[in-house]
Amino acid sequence: MGATRPHVQRRATRTALSISLAAAVAACGQNGGGGGGGGGGGEGEGDQPFAGARIDFVVPYEPGGGYDTYARALAPYLEECLDATLVVQNEPGAGGLVATNKTVAAGPNDNRFQIVNTPGLVSAQMAGEEGANFDVNDLNWLGRVAAPANVIVVNNDSPYKSFSDMVDAEDTVRFVAQGPGANDYLAPTILGEAYGFDYKIITGFAGSPEARQAVIAGDADAHILPVDSQLPAIESGDVTPLVTIEEEPDPLLPDVPTIYDEAPPEGDAKEVVDSLVALGQTGRALIASPQMAEDRVQALRDAWTCVAENDKAVADMEKQQRPIQSLDGEETAALVSDVLDSPESFQKLVTQSY
């Protein structure tokens, strides 16, 4: 039952990537697939532009969050695949835009690449956000790391036992968010407008943990963030998940219904919700400067393929409940381009969220 699902390209963890296997193996320097990223020896140094170099792996947020966790967990594997030394650098500011603008401006031979909140970059460009000094179509996309679904969580004593209860609520539903333009501000705006229920967004929190605490304390009704960010609070019993904003059940929350199962969107709402899902599927990704030399971009893309196809890396990330959901660089760029071409109705709501 329910609405037709959006046709958005989605791959399993070890998807068949379009980059040639031969190039990926060369980038990894594999001679037998040892531990880590695949054995970064020196035999392929003639073809490896980063061999022996230091590379800055930039996280555009403070230490300790989801992006930082992914970067620090992946860095040792990427090091071996690149035969280089990676240094994770935290460069917070302006919701990630400070670091991203610096990466975009990096020169052809600067040893720098970055993990990004792709939905944030795409929505900032849609909204014409001041400070977004880039065109995401110009970025060198190295690959998508993961695309965790957004999940709505509520207080354990909440009157809302399902998302349908929210849609049918007579009272205003109070969401919490870090501020306009943030992921947890964008999603409730779009859902409230698409389904036509009264909502309010409370802001001013220092971060997502503080925002979620307001829900736990009963000072607000709901919070929306990616599953891997909400999971510790869910597993500790502090909050209850209602629904994931995705096509299929999330592997980390397999028993939580999707929005299509719980309250299938209809009419104009469907294209808006489909677009929100597609935006979320751009996920956490890796970028390099538009000016970076082609051989260096390819080496970084091959390194990501090397990590995504490494059984030990995949298993390590799953243990940390930060699964790899890989797309290669070309696939990621195509997905981003498609989302930028979302319907005008969706783009207007994104702009309204800033």
Of 236, 261, 279, the residue at which a domain comes to its end is 279
pLDDT at 23 over 90: no
Residue 1: pLDDT band (50, 70, 90) is: very low
Q: What confidence score (pLDDT) does residue 66 get?
A: 87
User: What is the mean predicted confidence (pLDDT) over 291-296?
Assistant: 97
Report the percentage of the chain scoring pLDDT > 90: 81
Which is higher by pLDDT, 116 or 44?
Answer: 116
Number of structural domains in the chain = 2
Same domain, 204 and 306: no
Write the burial class of residue 70 (CB in 10 Å: 0-12 exposed, 13-18 middle, 19+ buried).
buried
Element (H, E) at 173: strand 173-176
Strands (E), 227-275: 239-245
pLDDT of residue 65: 84
- Higher-scoring residue by pLDDT: 23, 75: 75
Are residue 203 and residue 310 in the same domain, yes or no? no
Indicate whether 323 and 227 sit together in one domain: no
Does residue 35 sit in the same domain as residue 85? yes
Range of the domain at 341: 21-147+282-346
Residues belonging to the chain: 354
Q: Is residue 15 scored above 50 in pLDDT?
A: no
CATH number at residue 220: 3.40.190.10
Rg for the chain, CA atoms, rounded: 20
DSSP for 105-156, please give it.
H--TT--EEEEEEHHHHHHHHHHT-TT--S-GGGSEEEEEEE-PPEEEEEET
Say whether both 163 and 68 belong to one domain: no
Question: Given this model, what pLDDT does residue 232 score?
Answer: 94
Q: Is the pLDDT of residue 79 over 70?
A: yes
Q: Is the pLDDT confidence value at 22 over 60?
A: no
Residues 223 and 269 in one domain: yes
pTM value is: 0.85
121 lies in the same domain as 182: no
Residue 27 pLDDT: 42
- Residue 237 confidence (pLDDT): 97
Residues 240 and 333 in one domain: no
pLDDT of residue 46: 53
- pLDDT at residue number 325: 96
